[in-house]
Amino acid sequence: METYTLRDGLTVPKIGFGTYKLNGSHGVNVIDSAIDRGYRLLDTAFNYENEGAVGEAVRRSSVPRSELLISSKLPGRQVC
């Protein structure tokens, strides 16, 4: 996959895999399959409520965690 290089030297994939509505064992399998197919950026959000599925797919993957980038979003109306 093509990447962007940020000013700090971090490389970020140009295309990520969205995990919206991917929950439970089905979600784990789909996300794991995406990693196997070359996706290295996983996009999730607090509101997706799928942290467990994303985490389990990352654990199951043969790809080292250091090669994966996980982006997330916080709810816009919630005070931090």
How far apart CA 75 and CA 80 sit, in angstroms, is 9
Helix (H, G, I), strand (E, B) or coil at 65: helix
Candidate list 4, 20, 39, 48, residue with the active-site label:
48
Instruction: Give me the count of residues in the chain.
Output: 80
* Cβ-contact 11, 4 below 8 angstroms: yes
Active site residue 48: yes
Residue 53 in contact with residue 23, Cβ under 8 Å?
A: yes
What are the catalytic residues? 48
